[in-house]
Amino acid sequence: MTKSLLLVGVGGQGIILASKILVSGLMKIGYDVKMSEIHGMAQRGGSVTTQIRFGEKVYSPCIVENSADLVIAFEKIEAVRWLDKLKKGGTLLVNDYEIYSLPVLIGKEEYPKGVIEKLKEVVEHCKVFDAFSVAEEVGNVLTQNIVILGALIKALGIDTIDWVEVLKENIPEKLHDINIKALKKGMEL
């Protein structure tokens, strides 16, 4: 059976790295994996997405509307933006974190209020967590993406992989300790 995952967020949140670590682990246990990434003005705070599909045999990484088993939002407005990809009965993981767009920063618009409550109204399986606070507790807010990766691994229930080893293979050695802590904390969410 093929699983479809959509990771969404804003440029600079480490979505691509988290996706590559996940894909690396899935391939180690023999899954056929396809991944695509889209950077929409990522360096200027634009939307970044990765589509990952894995299973015995996968022919395309593309996820059409209402077909994603899991949507993982690194920023809560991005959850709203990509909600149409989630299939009925699918799971939405949301990092309760706000990144302000330019119109919000210059005071022309307000960041929407009640986003999490509205998501919970329309998605039966919606889990919200605060990866920023967990990463801050670990000692580096830049590990927020690895905290989210840990939460995603837990949601997928793929615990037959040595994720610490996979992590070590994908990040520089000087960053191993802090990211291992972040991964383990994320897996507890």
- Residue 121's CATH number: 3.40.920.10
Q: CA 172 → CA 137, 138, 168, 176, 183, distances in Å? A: 21, 18, 7, 7, 15
Span 160-181, pLDDT tens digits: 899 999 999 999 999 999 999 9
Q: What is the pLDDT of residue 101?
A: 85
CA distance 146 to 73: 13
Give the phi and the psi of residue 119 in degrees, each rounded to 5.
-65, -40
Residue 40 has pLDDT above 80, yes or no: no
For every residue of 120-148, DSSP letters joined together read HHH-SEEEEE-HHHHHHHHT-GGGHHHHH
Span 47-97, pLDDT tens digits: 899 999 999 999 999 999 999 999 999 999 999 999 999 999 999 999 999
Span 99-152, pLDDT tens digits: 998 889 999 999 999 999 999 999 999 999 999 999 999 999 999 999 999 999
Helix (H, G, I), strand (E, B), or coil: what is residue 54?
Answer: strand
CB 26 within 8 A of CB 38: no
Q: What is the pLDDT of residue 78?
A: 94
Task: Name, in order, each residue with C-beta under 8 angstroms of 172's C-beta and a sequence gap of 6 or more.
Answer: none
pLDDT grade for 37, boundaries at 50, 70 and 90? confident
Tokens read off for 53: 């599909």
Q: What is the pLDDT of residue 39?
A: 75
Task: Name, in order, each residue with C-beta under 8 angstroms of 50's C-beta and a sequence gap of 6 or more.
Answer: 6, 7, 15, 16, 19, 35, 36, 37, 38
Question: What is the number of structural domains in the chain?
Answer: 1
CB 169 within 8 A of CB 22: no
For residue 162, give its domain range: 2-188
Q: What is the pLDDT of residue 102?
A: 83
Q: What is the pLDDT of residue 41?
A: 63
Residue 42 has pLDDT above 60, yes or no: no
